[in-house]
Structure 1
Amino acid sequence: MLASLTLALVSLGVAVGLLGTLAESDDPDEYDYVVAKDGSGDYETIQAAIDGAKSFPPDRIRILVRGGVYDEKVEVHAWNPDVTLVGESAAETVITHGDHFEKIDRGRNSTFFTYTLKVRGNDFRARNLTVENSAGPVGQAVALHVDADRAVFENCRFLGHQDTVYAAGEGARQYFSNCDVEGTTDFVFGGSTAVFEDCRVHSKADSYVTAASTPESEPFGFVFLDCELTADPDVSEAYLGRPWRNYARTAFIRTRMGSHVLPAGWHNWSRPEAEKTVEYAEYDSRGPGSEGERVPWATALTEAEAERYSKANVLGSEGDGEWWDWEE
């Protein structure tokens, strides 16, 4: 596992600034719990800290996770809203596990049991963490499964192969800021409304980056703002997305795309009927992967049309305010 993590670091080429470190103002005394593998904190595992937190708390529960590799399967339950997990740095604070489809062996829905970190509690926040599925290229193996509403991930890394990030929940909204996501096939997938801003999305194989399953009733699916699409050196044929369900919605706004992105851009998953219902859009794509002729059923947005994809418009709703802003 440690070897695979090291290789992941090398392949990502992550800049020190992206990894993030604990802010000087983050005094451990300001946290409700401290997790440390060496026994110097309140708990030695992340799950124990979450299980020890009050259900439906009146105030936010803040948990500091000391540096270390935590090989555990973690779930933030629906009765644990308002939980914050903060690592000492994304490079040094790693949650990892190796479940995958065949290992779970629970039938056709085994994918949904493979997560390393599952977040069901609303108003969750995470900063400076790595979440890894260490199973390797063995099929579906989820690192992050999130179906909570108003979930925020800042300065985090999500490492895996197929199905790395499952962003789910009908009507749920999630925000990823300054994060790294890597994988092979459909490694950002699901039916939530999710904004990825200033993120690096890294393909490790010729395949598909996204597989949205946006419900027909939702106006937005996955929106990438000012992101960068990169790839391993031997990757040369990647699609921006394919529709897991027929009303998939995915947009790339001001995204720099490497040469691994195919000129066609999008795939119909061998379902021509989906071409009439999906919403695949781009605005001001940059780099070699933006060149060439996209499929005719994708949309090249005008500047005015692209304004619809602002973070506030995609994620906001009356009464919630700017919930995606990190405030403690």
Structure 2
Amino acid sequence: TAAVVGEGFLARDITFENTAGHAKHQAVALRVGSDLSAFYRCDILAYQDTLYVHSNRQFFINCLVAGTVDFIFGNAAAVLQDCDIHARLPGPGQKNMITAQGRKDPNQNTGIVIQKSRIGATSDLLLQTAGNMSYPTYLGRPWKEYSRTVIMQSEISDVVHSAGWHVWDADFALATLYYAEFGNSGPGANTTARVDWEGYKVIGNESEVVGFTAEERAFRQKTRRRLIIVGISSILLVGIIIGAVAGVVIRNRKSGGSGSDADKLPPTESPAASLKAVCSVTQYPSSCYSSITALEGGSNSSDPEVLFRLSLRAAMAELSKLKDFPAAIQLPSDIANDTMLRQAINVCAAVFEDSVDRLNDSIASITAQPAGEGKQQQVLSRTWLSAAVTDLDTCLDAVQLRAILEQLNSAMENSTELASNSLAIVTKVLGLLSDFNIPIHRRRRLMTAEAESDSGFPRWVSDGDRRMLQQVGGAGGLRPNVTVAQDGSGNFTTIAKAVELIPKKSLWKYIIYIKQGTYKENVILDKHRWNVLVYGDGKDKTIVSGSLNFVDGTPTFDTATFAVQGKNFMARDMKFINTAGPEKHQAVAFRSGADMSVYYRCSFDAYQDTLYPHSNRQFYRDCDITGTIDFIFGNAAVVFQGCKIQPRQPMSNQFNTITAQGKKDPNQNTGISIQKCDFTPLSANLTARTYLGRPWKDFSTTVIMQSSIGGFLNQLGWLPWVSGVEPPNTIFYAEYQNTGPGSSVAGRVKWAGYKPALTKDEAARFTVGSFIQGGAWLPATSVAFDSAL
């Protein structure tokens, strides 16, 4: 009756029916060969061969499928979730077969999965059977040699025969098929009398069926457009997007055979239902709904973009109140003069202000979004909101005292939830618009892939900036705006004095040349210092040195010898060191929260917490990073290429962990990607146990790929944050195509969140072009980079 083949097809509230009847045998109601297709609240009605899931990836949710013989058949990767699967009264001499899956090749990634559904019968069949098996119904039979069907977490009525499954012809395919049941309930779910075929199994372990869920299996295939539909809320959003954005009017599905004209009117999704669906993708749906409805216009809009803007306004209102809180904290008299605590509270004040700026950036970008840049602005908003969430978390990391932490947690609760809500909406709602190629307000979606630079740099580095990085080099390079020289031959003898001259929010590159020498000072370029390039005479010649540390009373955030916040910062041929030593614990050499920042031929030298890529997008090329514990840590979206990662000998009771990534919210687009780098000890005396990293936060994300790893690495590869406690399965730690004696994954940890061997497509997500959108900004820096694998 209806057949769809084109990619990305969506249907909602439609009845597809073939009325030929059982006497006419095969008569399909709906045939689907559309990849990444989704069906929501649809009825698919016929007798034999009702639903033909022919090929590609398909998802059905809240649908009704009714039929008799082989009424769900084909060779797609199809998931039916929260559906009603009803056998109906067949013709004389017929048996009901719910499925007939057609996988012919063992390497095909296809199959039928019925999850969290209800398997029963229509009223006509129930009346005829009345408890006997005159018209037996089976879960399926193998149409082809490698037929694959999984029924899981579903309610099965007693209409299903106790044997469960039926042969196609004698013993055909019984040893090569894969039929399985997991976690089902109801009178027909008892598996004690099921078939005893070699290919049939009852699964008892949840981990064995994860691969058959919508996210993990049916939608796992090589594709540049990564679409994951994992549940009811996502499909609700598809419906809202169709109705509210695209303006598509879809006929309502028929209700229970009433035949009334009212039942056939097009559906309209109320603003309240739209908002609930949008908020359902967040971690805090209640606060999402209440905060948006409290705003003007929040109760009468179904437009996802409008709702996103309102969520930003709600978050901004809370953050604006929060930024004044640190100054109002009342400390008990016994700690009122605690200098380190006061400094930690000052860190909170600074990051709260930064988080407000991040939200302002998001609001401004989405408001001023020109035609054709919807995808780009969605990525930018996600980047800035990720940074805002990181800023809030940084405050809690800085404050150690429990009594003050309780005050802060209470004060920050609303801000944290609402910022997270906005991040979830831009990730899952506006991201879904892009995935389905649905324009907002007639805006054209960018259809071409992000261009890659011939030099390998991300495109967000302009041609001019790239030339600067290539040409700058002492007297023979570009003319700097200001020169720093200890011998008095420049404009200033200290870097701090030069920084004072940097214009605020400059749209033009401001260049500082720092001549050879060791500058013992702590330097801060605040968020207002944009487009700054600092360069020296070489990473072993121009050195900035500090020694602030945690043990002596400075919060980790403030220990940085050199710290930058303003966007488009670049550094070349410089060395940044913290000389505090291992006994002083956290002592940062360099901290960056600068978006679209680039570091070329630089050296970062310390012990614990050497390099702190705090937030936003960052790129490091041909750099040296040296340290002991967590010596690359933070929650930026950061890529290292062609760098030397050099663990050194720590104190006698310490181990080395190269990374400690801090992703706290699942919707943040952050993580550490180390590609084509060289992992070697700083010196031959390294004997301490050394690991690639440990997960600092619940969604910690780190990928090591195409790198050379020396034999110094402990075979486990990774270390838990808390000794003896396996990290949550929400982390993402992975390795891809590494070489060297330490690259073998045979002895690696067995955590659920660790992937010892990514596919090429999975690894591609963490390249410069994909992970930090480098093709849009890096070419301008003139720093060589590899945009892809």
Provide closer, same or farther for how the CA distance between residues 324 and 47 of structure 1 changes in structure 2, counting only shifts above 3 A. farther
Identify the residue that residue 117 of structure 1 maps to in structure 2.
562
Give CA-to-partner distance per residue, 1:276-324, whole Å, 9 cap, x none: 011001001111111232112211112232222221101117xx81336
AA partner of residue 747 (structure 2): E
2:601 is aligned with what amino acid?
Answer: N
* Residue 246 of structure 1 pairs with residue 668 of structure 2: no
Query: Which residues of 2 match residues 191-230 of structure 1 at below 5 A?
Result: 191-205=635-649, 206-215=655-664, 216-230=666-680
Question: Alpha carbons of 1:165 and 1:25: their partners in 2 closer, same or farther (altered >3 Å)?
Answer: closer
> Is the contact made by 2:658 and 2:692 (CA closer than 8 Å) also made in structure 1?
yes
Q: Report the CA distance between 1:27 and its aligned residue.
A: 3.8
Tell me the CA shift for residue 65 of structure 1. Answer: 0.7
Counterpart in 2 of 1:296? 750
Say which is worse superposed, 113-122 or 205-214, in terms of deviation: 205-214
> Is the 1:220–1:250 Cα contact (8 Å) retained in structure 2?
no
Q: Which moved more, 1:145-154 or 1:290-299?
A: 290-299
Spell out, residue by residue over 1:134-178, the C-alpha distance to the aligned partner (whole angstroms, 9 max, x if none).
111121100001111111100000000000001112xx0110000
The answer for the alignment partner of 1:11 in structure 2 is: none
Could you say what secondary structure the match of 2:765 adopts? helix
Matched residues in 2 for 1:282 and 1:131: separation? 29
**1:315 aligned to 2:787?**
no
Q: Distance in 1 between matches of 2:638 and 2:779?
A: 11
Local SS of the residue matching 2:543: strand
1:65 and 2:514 correspond: yes
Instruction: Please state whether the residue corresponding to 2:582 is helix, strand or coil.
Output: coil
SS of the aligned residue for 1:47 comes to helix
Aligned residues: 301
Q: How much does 1:25 deviate?
A: 8.6
2:549 matches 1:100 = yes
TM-score, normalisation: structure 1: 0.86
**2:739 aligned residue:** 286
Q: Report whether the alignment pairs 1:176 with 2:620.
A: yes
Q: TM-score, normalised by structure 2?
A: 0.37
Secondary structure in structure 2 of the residue aligned to 1:64:
strand
- Structure 1 match to 2:718: 266
Q: 1:25 to 1:93 in 2, by over 3 A?
A: closer
CA contact (8 A) 1:21 1:88 kept: no
2:721 equivalent to 1:235: no
Higher normalized helix content (fraction of residues):
2
Query: Alpha carbons of 1:325 and 1:258: their partners in 2 closer, same or farther (altered >3 Å)?
Result: farther
> Deviation at 1:78?
0.8
| C-alpha distance in structure 1 between counterparts of 2:661 and 2:632, whole Å | 8
CA shift for structure 1 position 221: 0.3
CA RMSD across the alignment: 2.1
Partner AA of 2:674 in structure 1: F
**Aligned with 1:252: secondary structure?**
strand
1:23, distance to aligned residue in structure 2 (A): 5.2
5+ long unaligned stretches in structure 2: 1-468, 650-654, 784-789
Equivalent in the alignment of 1:146: 592
Q: Distance in 2 between matches of 1:249 and 1:187?
A: 16
| Aligned equivalent of 2:577, options 132, 135, 141 | 132
- Compared CA separation, residues 274 and 114, structure 1 to 2 (3 A): same
Shift of the alpha carbon at 1:326? 1.4
**Could you tell me how far apart the structure 2 residues matched to 1:53 and 1:219 are?**
31
Shift of residue 132, structure 1, vs aligned partner: 0.3
CA distance in 2: counterparts of 1:250 and 1:263, whole angstroms: 17
SS in 2 for 1:187: strand
Structure 1 SS opposite 2:727: helix
1:24 Cα shift? 5.7
Output one character per residue of 1:226-280: Cα deviation in whole Å (capped at 9) or x when no partner.
0011113232421101011111100011111111111111112127463301100
Aligned-partner SS, 1:222? strand
CA shift, 1:63, in A, is 0.8
**1:36 alignment partner in structure 2:** 485
Residue identity matched to 1:293: G
Is residue 22–residue 89 contact of structure 1 (8 Å, CA) maintained in 2?
no
Larger radius of gyration: 2
Structure 1 counterpart of 2:721, which letter? W
Following superposition, the deviation at residue 56 of structure 1 comes to 1.3
Which has the larger strand fraction? 1
- Post-superposition CA distance 1:62-109 (Å, at most 9, x none): 111111110110011111110000101111100001111122x15xxx
Local SS of the residue matching 1:309: coil
1:159–1:183 Cα contact (<8 Å) kept:
yes
Amino acid of the structure 2 residue aligned with 1:162? Q
Q: Which residue matches 2:730?
A: 277
2-structure distance, mates of 1:92, 1:304:
41
Code of the aligned partner of 1:321: A
Letter in 2 for 1:296: K
Q: CA 1:24 to 1:64, structure 2 compared with 1: closer, same or farther past 3 Å?
A: closer
- Quick one: which amino acid aligns to residue 680 of structure 2? T
Distance 1:275 1:258 in 2: 28
The structure 2 residue matched to 1:54, chosen from 488, 503, 510, is 503
User: Are the aligned partners of 2:660 and 2:693 in contact in 1 as well (CA < 8 Å)?
Assistant: yes
Which residue does 1:3 correspond to in 2?
Answer: none
2:781 aligned partner = 326
Post-superposition offset of 1:325: 4.6
What's the secondary structure of 1:166's corresponding residue?
Answer: strand
Identity between Structure 1 and Structure 2 (%): 31
